[in-house]
Amino acid sequence: MYYAIILFGFAVNPCCYYPCQNSGVCVRFGNDHYQCDCTRTGFYGDNCTVPEFRTRIRLLLKPNPSFAQYLLTHFQWFWDLLNNSFLRDTVMRLVLTSRSSLIPSPPTHNTKYGYLSWESYYNTSYYTLLLPPVPEDCPLLMGTKGKQTLPDPKVLAERFFKRKKFRPDPQGTNLMFAFMAQHFTHQFFKSNHEVKAGFTKAFGHGVDASNIYGDTLERQHQLRLHKDGKLKYQLVHGEVFPPTVSEAPVYMKHNRVCDILRAEHPTWDDEQLFQTTRLIIIGEIIKIIIEDYVQHLSGYFLKLKFDPTLLFNERFQYSNRIALEFGQLYHWHPLMPDSFIIDGEEVTYSQFIYNTSLLTHHGVEKLVDSFSRQAAGQIGGGHNSHEVVLKVAEMTIKESREARIQPFNEYRKKFNLKPYTSFYEFTDDPEMAKGLEELYGDIDALEFYPGLMLEKTRPNAIFGESMVEMGAPFSLKGLLGNPLCSPEYWKPSTFGGETGFHIVKSATLQNLVCHNSKWYPYVHFRVSKKEQEMNPRKQSTEL
């Protein structure tokens, strides 16, 4: 502690140094003393750095994240064999348990409380925080490392986030994926910007389809037709579309399922038809997200499987709270292109944003087909955010500071990743490394969101190691922690019988579109090989 007093001229809260490793909890005693609570971390010692015997064995046997990623994305012949054997369930269970165990349930911290409290658990108007916020009495905003003042968010966005030239994602991600990501996450990322950072307007903390049904009971009733369990709709040239904006925007997928249930259950009233259909829709969403969306994002040759029964004999809690860090890492705006190509026509941002006439003019099929064929941008590595969405990066950095989110390297440790020792190790762009070093002064002062977005990408991947290793646990815990996936819910009667259960278990992205359209467009989260082989510039203008 003597060093801290000499360095800053006053006694420093020792927890500002993040002394407790391996998820140990720092508790301050007096001005300059602390203890690390190492309970159930698998480590002991003053700073929870000495592994217990079982931990030592586990660490010896566990492959590092880079090696595991390499295995899962290479040797396709091996994974083809495994995907058709009983071992698929075993590996899938291992993936689910190893990822989900990194996310605490019940929640631990929020932006107000850096220690366990009833308020952190009970008050769901907060986003939770995986790591406690930086103590307010630390000498620097990131603790004790770096410069006295953090870089201007606008400077960071302009120098490191702003697109120089559109860089397509080497994994072949398309705009269909980008818009699915936006639509899907808006049911649980609903930050309340009218109050201090870290608050949400959402009542649910997971997949509840509130982006379709409304996030309040009042809104839900405004959307409902109150007949046959259906939602409101309008007919345009004989085609079914969501109602006008004055009534409420909804997707019509719900009404098709209502008709199926009504045929099976003619005695059911409007309320039971509506509520059961909603459960089916939620189940379909989870299956599509795991088996199509996450499958594409992972790049794994292991064929991911949505089967809640895999966890029925595991230690698993069916609850979830959305973390602010999860909301921050999901700001994937580099996906957005320079312009949109719809049915061979170029559409600028000014023509695209808030223009619902594009839907009625072109129809759902042409929009899906066009978005599935147009490449999205690579998320990681920096220099790939269109200027139209650059403000989002600035806002996210400001939100992170208001919430006092810990530095990027502390999250690397939390997710069992080796912290970076320099900016030149962090990025393979020497100019960026030099610029970040000038602005931050120390790699241990690099902020969470810039760290995720600017980190060097894995070879031929959409983003870097940290985004994968941090994002996957949040995603899988949120999806499988849904009550629908619990033993009490996961049964035919929940969905109105075997027919409804089959709708959930057979859901795919292709079925979602083709069951709700007149003709079958090309629908995928990856551009076709033909489009991938095209020149990136040609992709953005001649699709």
pLDDT digits (tens, 9 = 90+) for 65-94: 999 999 999 999 999 999 999 999 999 999
**Residue whose tokens read 């348990």:** 97
Catalytic residues: 186, 330
Q: Does 540 score more than 80 pLDDT?
A: no
Interval 356-368: pLDDT, tens: 889 888 988 999 9
For the entire predicted model, the pTM comes to: 0.92
The CA distance from 323 to 230, in Å, is 33
Strand partners, 199: 126
Q: What local confidence, expressed as pLDDT, does residue 533 receive?
A: 64
With bands split at pLDDT 50, 70 and 90, how would you rate the model's confidence at 137? very high
The CA distance from 452 to 406, in Å, is 13
Across the chain, mean pLDDT equals 92
DSSP-derived letter for residue 310 is G
With bands split at pLDDT 50, 70 and 90, how would you rate the model's confidence at 3? very low
Consecutive H or E run containing 241: strand 239-241
To 10 degrees, what angle do helices 76-83 and 87-100 make?
A: 100
Interval 382-417: pLDDT, tens: 999 999 999 999 999 999 999 999 999 999 999 999
Amino acid at site 466: S
Residue 194, class by beta-carbon neighbours within 10 Å (0-12 exposed, 13-18 middle, 19+ buried)? exposed
Strands 345-347 and 43-44: what pairing?
A: unpaired
Long-range CB contacts for residues 458-462, cutoff 8 Å, separation at least 24: 458/66, 458/69, 460/170, 460/171, 461/170, 461/171, 461/299, 461/380, 462/169, 462/170, 462/171, 462/173, 462/297, 462/378, 462/379, 462/380
Q: Are 393 and 333 in contact (CB under 8 A)?
A: yes
Amino acid at site 471: G
The CA distance from 169 to 166, in Å, is 10
Cα–Cα distance list, 208 to 105, 205, 229, 277 (Å): 18, 8, 17, 12
The CA distance from 42 to 175, in Å, is 43
Q: Does 251 score more than 60 pLDDT?
A: no
Give the chain's count of helices (H) and strands (E).
27, 8
Q: What local confidence, expressed as pLDDT, does residue 110 receive?
A: 92
Q: Are 159 and 34 in contact (CB under 8 A)?
A: no
Q: Does 194 score more than 70 pLDDT?
A: yes
Q: Does 32 score more than 70 pLDDT?
A: yes
DSSP-derived letter for residue 146 is S
Structure tokens at 224: 């409902």
Q: What local confidence, expressed as pLDDT, does residue 196 receive?
A: 77
What b/e readout covers 248-287, taking b as 16+ CB neighbours within 10 angstroms? bebbbbbbebbeebbeebeebebeebbebbbbbbbbbbbb
End-to-end CA distance of the chain, in Å?
Answer: 63
Amino acid at site 331: H
Residues above pLDDT 90, as percent of the chain: 81
C-beta neighbour count of 193 within 10 angstroms = 11
